[in-house]
Amino acid sequence: MNGVDLLQRTKLNQPEWDDSFTKLYIFNLTQYSEIVYFDSDSLLINATMNKHELVYHPTNLDELFGLQVDIAMPRAYWIQPSSQDLYQAKLDNRANFFASHVIYVRPNPNIFNEIMRYVNNPWLWSWNHRNRLFRPDDYDMEIINRYLDDQWKLNGLKIGLLNHSVYGVLSGEFKQLDHSRYFSSSLSSTRWNSGEILQKIKLIHFSNAPIPKPWLLHPDEMGPWISCNPASGSLVLVDCDLLHHWTWIHRAFFSLQQKHWIK
């Protein structure tokens, strides 16, 4: 394991994400021919059903190695309207079509150096890229998307799309009543079955705002934050079936934390 300096930008609209740019180093780790990166606030999952109860099994993402592309990411489905097809969604969401919490990449210093121009805006580059200058609401996801959008128009890279329903699911999806964006259809929420969905997922990204990240909140302390009881006074009210599986995800994370985290 090698330490690296943080890649940061200051004066961001959300300064808690100012070191998120550090993940861009993956494009320059040329000692590896391929990298599968995922954010640390993620859970790899392989769930099976046993006597009507979900069972967690450890897993990996090794099946992604060998993809015949330069870079692959899932779609940021939670941002895009449910009625859009993929091509239209890409045209209308140039800065946030791809989600950056899981990335397959073949490291290349040329890619890294070019991406860093979108972060640092060197003078000559800035003169020719006025519509790509860094903004206070740009983070790693927006930077990578702008770079890929330019490459897509130039046909400069082989870009792949990972299945968001397997690799790009947010944990917050399990506290939503409307799943049309997940299904990319305004007519598909009736197909949602939490137990079946969990058995198809390989990676869950913890995104539950305003509920804290799972390592900051014990599963038994969720009551003030989320409940299916209208009389509970909880900040977030959800369907009880959704809450059962949302809590299962957090208990799976807590169990792994107890086994593997250094105290």
In this predicted model, what pLDDT tens digit does every residue of 213-222 receive, in sequence order? Answer: 888 888 788 7
Q: Is residue 7 part of a domain?
A: no
In a domain, 19, yes or no: yes
Grade residue 12 by pLDDT with cuts at 50, 70 and 90. low
Whether residue 249 has pLDDT greater than 60 = yes
- pLDDT (tens digit per residue) in 91-135: 677 778 999 999 999 999 999 999 988 888 766 677 677 777 777
Domain range for residue 69? 15-40+63-162
Query: Side chain identity at 58, as an amino acid letter?
Result: P
High-pLDDT (> 90) share of the chain, %: 38
Domain boundary among 107, 142, 162: 162
Is residue 28 domain-shared with residue 152, that is, in the same domain?
yes
**CB contact at 8 A, 203 and 223:** no
Q: Residue 239 pLDDT > 70, yes or no?
A: yes
Pair 104, 137 in one domain: yes
* 24 & 96 share domain: yes
The two most distant CA atoms of the chain are separated, in Å, by 64
Domain match, 187 and 147 both: no
| Residue 203 in this model has a pLDDT that exceeds 90 | yes
Burial class (CB in 10 A: 0-12, 13-18, 19+), 195: middle
Mean residue pLDDT of the chain comes to 83
DSSP-derived 3-state class of residue 150? helix
* Residue 243, pLDDT score: 83
Q: What span, in angstroms and rounded, lies between the C-alpha atoms of 205 and 201?
A: 11
Residue 54 located in a structural domain:
no
- Contact indicator for 107, 32 with CB cutoff of 8 Å: yes
Domain for residue 23, yes or no?
yes
At residue 212, the pLDDT reads: 83
Question: 20 with 139, same domain?
Answer: yes
Assess if residue 46 is contained within a domain: no
Tokens (6 digits) for 22? 């550090």
- The pLDDT assigned to 164 comes to 94
Q: Looking at the structure, tell me whether residues 143 and 212 fall in a common domain.
A: no
Mean pLDDT score, 141-155: 87
- Residues composing the chain: 263
pLDDT of residue 186: 57
Q: Based on the domain organization, do 24 and 127 belong to the same domain? A: yes
Q: What is the pLDDT of residue 222?
A: 77
8-17, 191-200, 240-249, 254-263, range with the lowest pLDDT: 8-17
Provide the 3-class DSSP secondary structure of residue 180.
Answer: helix
pLDDT tens column, 41-93: 999 999 998 888 899 988 999 999 999 999 999 999 988 776 666 767 776 77
8 A C-beta contact, residue 18 and residue 12? yes
DSSP, res 7:
P
**pLDDT for the residue numbered 156:** 78
Q: What is the Cα–Cα distance from 176 to 239, expressed in whole angstroms?
A: 8
Query: Rg for the chain (alpha carbons), in Å?
Result: 20
| 142 and 177, same domain (yes or no) | no
